Amino acid sequence: MLNFKQGIFPLYQKVLRQESQSWIAETLTTLAVPLSFFLAFGLGLRGYISNVNGVPYLVFLAPGLISLTIMLEAYRTGAWGLWLDRWYQKMINEYRIKPITTSDIIIGEILGGFTVALFKGAIVTLVLLILAPVSVHWKYLGPYLFYMFPGSILFTCIGTMVGTMFRKPDQIAQIQTIVITPLLYLGGLFFPIQAFPASILPIITWLPTTALFDGGREALLSGHLTIQYSLILWLSAGLSFWAATLLFNRKLSE
């Protein structure tokens, strides 16, 4: 049985506390990637790309950069958090001798990663609102978060699975390069997915990153949600949550 007060909450709080220890460095790191993309693509290409799907390129790009931050931070917090606790600091060994279950531990870590990712997404949103001519209709925030919640859970869970399995830190970076980065570029972050050849478009539309970037953009700019994107994100979030918990429990019982 899960124990929120004794197991999940203290570990959730621990993740947030760890992040807050070096918040200036964390904030700068968080802003570095989306702002680099914003400067390079948004400002650099502004003269060449005026409108995409009827909206200015900067406006087209901004929601994707927020989603990108959430995705990368979710993966990073999940993967490095678990790796640190399991392989480097060996704190998992300390948690396991407490009267809580391994499910409590992994759920606390996942919820922590999820929250950190959303918080960092909010920071990037604020900065982009200042830099880009994006006017957010606050009523569309709900639909956008409807995508971002499962997206954040999904990538935190992927991260925790990587952190649970791989003992060497360079393996975390390898997974990011081999799996996360291609997903990032294929998901319609920098250009509309309709630009892909018709032959691969059906595959692209079923990627969770497409739901996150393309769906997220549509939700934030027009408040529109699609059933397909909703299903992809919520189902993959649920599936990854189940897989991450199962994997963690199994690895720890070995």
Partner 1 sequence: MTPPAKAIEALQITKNYGKIQALKGVSFTVETGSVFSILGPNGAGKTTLLKILTTISNPDTGKAFIEGFNILTQTLEVRQRIGIVSQDNHFDRYLSIWHNLTLHAQMHGLPKKEYEHRITALLKQVDLYDRRFSLADDLSGGMQRRVSLIRALIHNPRVLFLDEPTTGLDPQARAEIWEMIENLKQTATIILTTHYMEEADRLSDRILLLNQGQGVGIGTPRELKLALTPSNKYELALGVPKAKDYATVLQQVINPLTDVPVFEEIIPLNDFTLEFQTAKPENLKEVLRHIDPSDLIRLGKLEANLEDVFLSITKRSNAQERAS
Residue ranges in contact with partner 1 by CB under 8 A: 5-7, 9-11, 13-14, 17-18, 21-22, 85, 89-91, 93-100, 253
Enter the tokens of residue 18: 């760890």
Pick the closer one to partner 1 by CB: 76 or 217.
76
Q: Minimum distance from CB of 95 to partner 1 (Å)?
A: 7
Pick the closer one to partner 1 by CB: 13 or 36.
13
Enter the tokens of residue 202: 């059906």
Pick the closer one to partner 1 by CB: 18 or 249.
18
Q: Which helix (H) or strand (E) holds 146?
A: helix 141-165
Q: Give which of 235, 230, 1 is closest to 107, Cα–Cα.
A: 1
Pick the closer one to partner 1 by CB: 11 or 66.
11
Q: How far is CA 225 from CA 41, 56, 94, 217, 230, in A?
A: 26, 21, 44, 10, 7
Q: Minimum distance from CB of 101 to partner 1 (Å)?
A: 8
Q: Minimum distance from CB of 17 to partner 1 (Å)?
A: 6
Q: Minimum distance from CB of 77 to partner 1 (Å)?
A: 12
Enter the tokens of residue 54: 């009827």
Residue 6 to residue 38: CA distance in whole angstroms: 42
